[in-house]
Structure 1
Amino acid sequence: MGRLRRSRTHHAQRDVHRASRTRARTRDLDQIQMIDLDPKNRAALEAQPLDYEKPGLAQHYCVECAKYFETDNALRSHWRSKVHKRRCKALREPAYTIEEAERAAGLGREDKRSTHTEQPVLIEPIV
């Protein structure tokens, strides 16, 4: 009896599907640093009006993680969790600017300018 043929329908698709899923996508760190952690915006996010579409009627919100929770106990246990502490530690570091990203990709200018300028060499046409 020969070897059984492997199924080809689900080969390595599970992880790709999980990675591309946007259902549980939260805000990025730079968005949270620039917008949500501003004291005016933070106070508005922590004291939101009732919203029947959001979990917990939008009354239990973690600003650092940009997540809604059903109950106050769930929010308090989230604050003690490792996930929340990691997110807070990542938010303490300054966000990258566009200029830093371009320099890392090799597109931006260096901070130091060259001290000498090269003159273009003119080539005379041969007659």
Structure 2
Amino acid sequence: MGRLRRSRTHKAQRDIHRASRTRARTKDLDQIQLIDLDPKNRAALEAQPLDFDKPGLAQHYCVECAKYYESDVALHSHWKSKVHKKRCRALREPAYTIEESERAAGLGREGKRTSSASNALMSTAA
């Protein structure tokens, strides 16, 4: 019996993991909604001091997308793009809270009886 062919079995999976490892992470939607869209923080982000380590010296920043741009022209063309408009539409929806996520996983208090309610049902049934 010959050698089993194993070189091509998980290529797609490996490439996805490699891409996610090396991709630059941006802020999540809930972080932007809670922190960056606050009027005080937004004004500070839009008027940042010069920073030589960031693109465009940190002068061209899109708050909704949490990205820096090289020039004012690039920022204005980004504002007209489909990616920015889709991100703004997603930011209009309220962020999920911890309680909502727990209820979705079945860990919340909704749908569960309290001990006093179950005791009252037990006494009426007897």
Q: TM-score, normalised by structure 2?
A: 0.81
Match of 1:125 in 2: none
Distance 1:33 1:54 in 2: 23
Q: Encode CA deviations 1:79-113: one digit per residue, 9 max, x unaligned.
A: 00000000000000000000000000001101785
Structure 2, unmatched stretches of 5+, are none
SS of the residue 1:26 aligns to: coil
Give the aligned residue type for 2:36. D
Please give the per-residue CA displacement for 1:38-90, whole angstroms capped at 9, x wherever unaligned.
00000000000000000000000000000000000000000000000000000
* In 2: Cα distance, 1:20 partner to 1:102 partner: 28
Equivalences, count: 115
Q: Which amino acid aligns with 1:20?
A: R
State the identity as a percent. 70
Q: Distance in 1 between matches of 2:58 and 2:40?
A: 18
User: Which structure's CA Rg is the greater one?
Assistant: 1
Give the structure-1-normalised TM-score.
Answer: 0.80
Question: C-alpha root-mean-square deviation of aligned residues, in Å?
Answer: 2.5
Q: Which has the higher helix share?
A: 2
Instruction: Give the aligned partner of residue 51 of structure 2.
Output: 51
Listed as ranges, the gaps of 5+ residues in structure 1 are 122-127
What secondary structure is seen at the aligned counterpart in 2 of 1:109? coil
SS in 1 for 2:89: helix
1:111-122 to structure 2, matched below 5 A, reads 116-118=117-119
